[in-house]
Amino acid sequence: MQSLGNDSELAVKKDQKYLWHNITPYSEKNPPMIAASASGSWITDIQGNRFLDGMSGLWCVNVGYGRKELAEAAYNQLLALPYFPLTQSHLPAIALAEKLNEWLGDDYVIFFSNSGSEANEAAFKMARQYQQQIGQHYRHKFIARYRGYHGSSLGALSATGQAQRKYKYEPLAGGFLHVAPPDSYRRPAGMTVEEFNLQCAQSIEDMIIWEGVETVAAVIMEPVITGGGVIVPHQVYLDRVQEICRKHGVLLIMDEVICGFGRSGRKFGHHNFNVKPDIVTMAKGLTSAYLPLSATAVRKDIYEVFKDNSDDYGHFRHVNTFGGNPASCALALRNLEIIEQEKLVERADLLGKRINTEFTELLDHKLVGDVRSFGLVTGVELVEDKVGKKPVDLSIVKGIIAECKSKGLIIGKNGDTVAGFNNVLTFAPPLSSTDEDIEFIIDTFKSVLNGG
Ligand code: PMP
């Protein structure tokens, strides 16, 4: 950065020349925001403009920006022991694994990686190998949901149910199947939310049976589909999914990459339901994204199948160089302590309810078809007409996002242009947001929507 000084024009030029961005194509006329610093829920760009980050980055900066304690935790650990592979062990990984166990509230063993995608890849390999080692040799298939997102690597992308992200890279990994999500807003007329959710859960059992029970290894789902449009299931859905999985010897993998670490108003998203997943994957809020780290938590008795196998090939033959880096683990521990000390889980619940109450008033607006919340995640679904529920044109969604940005508020959207679902605006500010921050989000969004 020193070579750029304060020269923002030069930064934009060099960005164009050297940097390949995630997803979005930029041009010199339409440059990306270049961030320079951040504090609390606010980011300052290189021109000195301030924005409230209503998406916590990519749904991840749970404790907000500028936490000195996190920088110190990483710094101290980097001096003491910057690296040691988890082919063996180190103290920060042990302490964090114990802490995660406590947070999960059940007996899990923790495998560390670096990203949400990798945590899911590890889960898929564990599920297949576990099934083999208990004698279920044909169980290799995974069932996921359309509109769900599980990552960008080929296996995690195969589990993803968003055509837009996949079609250029197909054929992907084999054995990944999809069912419709419990999108209650679009349920058939005359059906209650509960009936519809039970029907959606039933489609999983039907698929297991049609595919051959003995060929299905696991079901993977987020507790609530977040990036795919904030699709919140009825309580009966997850109850029934768990019942189906147990009945048919299929593992239940819960992707808590977004919902974990207080975002849902509970420690983990699945704590809002009566489920005990076999495998839980997590990333993002684990370190509040200050450093890369992810984890795959595995029910103790599943782990035992790998541990007790005296044949060398019974072990989990999966290694990653950086997973469980000591500094990342030390920082994650401190991050979890902050969440506990500042009661941010409870705060997420409180703030989410406030946003939801305020946004529910917007249902009178001609474009707002539905408002859905899960803890501090809110989705506002925009439709052309409230009866047909046809999604509004993408240009309207982009226009609202741009207008919010021009007023200093960053919000997000779901995205599956190919399937035509890119009409849900998303809100997921840091759990540490102040009351004033939340008011700013509510007032700014309302004024933009009402043409103010
Ligand atoms: N699962 C879910 C639910 C996610 O939202 C994401 C990322 N948005 C991932 C997995 C993949 O995480 P990463 O980008 O860290 O690989």
Does pTM top 0.95 for this prediction?
A: yes
For ligand 1, say whether the CB of 283 is within 6 Å of any of its atoms. Answer: yes
For ligand 1, say whether the CB of 257 is within 6 Å of any of its atoms. Answer: yes
Q: To the nearest whole percent, how much of the chain has pLDDT over 90? A: 91
Name the residue with the closest Cα to ligand 1, atom 10: 150
309 within some domain: yes
What pLDDT does residue 311 have? 65
Q: Which of 444, 233, 431, 425 is nearest to 350 (CA)?
A: 431
Same structural domain, 250 and 267 = yes
Listed range (13-27, 36-50, 120-134) with the worst mean pLDDT? 13-27
E strand map for 63-192: 108-113, 141-145, 176-179
Q: Over the stretch 193-226, which tens digit does the pLDDT of each residue have? A: 999 999 999 999 999 999 999 999 999 999 999 9
Rounded CA-CA distance 103/115 in Å is 20
What pLDDT does residue 66 have? 98
For residues 293 and 332, is the Cβ–Cβ distance under 8 A? Answer: yes
Same structural domain, 250 and 395 = no
46 within some domain: yes
For ligand 1, say whether the CB of 222 is within 6 Å of any of its atoms. Answer: yes
Same structural domain, 53 and 98 = no
73 within some domain: yes
Q: Over the stretch 373-395, which tens digit does the pLDDT of each residue have? A: 999 999 999 999 999 999 999 99
Whether 417 shows a pLDDT value over 90: the answer reads no
Domains in the chain: how many in total? 2
* Measured CA angle at 202 (ends 378, 131), to 5 deg: 95
What pLDDT does residue 4 have? 60
Task: Write out the DSSP string of 32-55.
Answer: PP-EEEEEBTEEEETTS-EEEETT
42 within some domain: yes
Q: Over the stretch 333-367, which tens digit does the pLDDT of each residue have? A: 999 999 999 999 999 999 999 999 999 999 999 99
What pLDDT does residue 236 have? 98
Whether 2 shows a pLDDT value over 60: the answer reads no
Identify the domain containing residue 315 by its residue range: 68-341
Whether 141 shows a pLDDT value over 90: the answer reads yes
Same structural domain, 127 and 178 = yes
Q: Which of 191, 226, 358 is nearest to 368 (CA)?
A: 358
Same structural domain, 33 and 107 = no
- DSSP letter at 196 equals H
What value does the CA radius of gyration of the chain take, rounded to a whole number of Å? 22
Same structural domain, 292 and 360 = no
ipTM: 1.00
Same structural domain, 165 and 313 = yes
Whether 452 shows a pLDDT value over 90: the answer reads no
What pLDDT does residue 29 have? 82
What pLDDT does residue 323 have? 97
Same structural domain, 111 and 231 = yes
3 within some domain: no
Q: Is 291 helix (H, G, I), strand (E, B) or coil?
A: coil
For ligand 1, say whether the CB of 423 is within 6 Å of any of its atoms. Answer: no
Q: Which residue has the higher pLDDT, 314 or 216?
A: 216
CATH number at residue 249: 3.40.640.10
Q: Over the stretch 108-130, which tens digit does the pLDDT of each residue have? A: 999 999 999 999 999 999 999 99
Task: Write out the DSSP string of 232-271.
Answer: PPPHHHHHHHHHHHHHHT-EEEEE-TTTTTTTTSSSSGGG
Same structural domain, 100 and 202 = yes
What pLDDT does residue 56 have? 98
Rounded CA-CA distance 237/247 in Å is 15
Average pLDDT over residues 314-342: 96
- Which of 289, 308, 341 corresponds to the end of one domain? 341
Average pLDDT over residues 176-180: 98
Q: Over the stretch 219-262, which tens digit does the pLDDT of each residue have? A: 999 999 999 999 999 999 999 999 999 999 999 999 999 999 99
Ligand 1 midpoint to CA 149 (Å)? 7
Whether 1 shows a pLDDT value over 70: the answer reads no
Average pLDDT over residues 404-424: 89
Q: What are phi and psi of 78, to 5 degrees?
A: -65, -35
Rounded CA-CA distance 131/44 in Å is 50
Average pLDDT over residues 60-85: 98
Ligand 1 midpoint to CA 450 (Å)? 33
2 within some domain: no
Q: To the nearest whole percent, how much of the chain has pLDDT over 70? A: 97
CA–CA distance from 281 to each of 63, 257, 289 (Å)? 20, 6, 15
Same structural domain, 45 and 149 = no
Name the residue with the closest Cα to ligand 1, atom 5: 258
Q: Which residue has the higher pLDDT, 421 or 144?
A: 144
